[in-house]
Amino acid sequence: MRILIVEDDADLREGLRDMLEHASYAVDAAESAEEADDYMAVAPYDLVLLDVNLPGKDGVSLLKGWRRNQKSTPVVLLTARDGWREKVSGIDAGADDYITKPFHQEELLARVRAQLRRSGNQTESSMRFGDVEIDTAAQRVFVAGQDARLTAHEYRILNYLAHNTGRVISKNQIMDHVHDLDSEALSNGTEVLISRIRKKIGRDRIETVRGLGYRFKPAESGAG
């Protein structure tokens, strides 16, 4: 899953980036509304963490513009402790949630997971597909109760495919959602990672749809 951070405080911005990358998310970071608009124009994000008090155009105005342009990406506002008016105006503008600064890392990660679950019509913190369990809180995958020991990039790909179970996902979509803009992602690298995932969770879980991409299947029904 790919997240955009919009925060003008450099220390907080980089702290959020490190925290989210450690939690196996692909992350881009913008320091202004203008830079955030540029990022949103070129990449499909699964979630945005948006500071309300940005220099120049504020976060709520930025969000209103996104919603007017039919951008439905889930947005979690970062607000000041006493900024209740900003919270209200942000929710009215189309924000999906907010968190008050300063915040605990665990709370922010929980809110991120909750929004990603909602956007994927998922109600629990783990996804089960027969003997395969994806624990989104721990970023771990189990097969028949045993840790599959996926790497961070393998987990990102499997998590994204599982959130889109039954849909055909192209290589470009995978690269867009599991790599940040600083990554040197290659199409053949995706093929290698898919092959490794299959060896760890079972080849028949990920079907190759020739010429189109890959499809994660909820039940075993033959090799892809």
Residue carrying structure tokens 């951008």: 71
The pLDDT assigned to 95 comes to 94
Name the DSSP class of 203.
Answer: G
The pLDDT assigned to 184 comes to 54
Q: What whole-number distance in Å separates Cα of residue 157 and Cα of residue 25? A: 10
158 pLDDT exceeds 90?
A: yes
CATH code 3.40.50.2300 region(s) in the chain: 2-119
196 pLDDT exceeds 90?
A: yes
Q: Which fold has domain 2-119?
A: Rossmann fold (3.40.50)
CATH code 1.10.10.10 region(s) in the chain: 126-216
Q: Tens digits of per-residue pLDDT, 22-55? A: 988 989 999 999 999 999 998 889 999 999 999 8
221 pLDDT exceeds 50?
A: no
What's the pTM value of the predicted model, to 2 decimals? 0.74
The pLDDT assigned to 220 comes to 54
Q: Which of 10-24, 180-194, 198-212 has the lowest mean pLDDT?
A: 180-194
Residues 62-79 have a mean pLDDT of 94
CATH number of 126-216: 1.10.10.10
The pLDDT assigned to 87 comes to 84
Q: What whole-number distance in Å separates Cα of residue 47 and Cα of residue 68? A: 17
Q: What whole-number distance in Å separates Cα of residue 50 and Cα of residue 1? A: 17
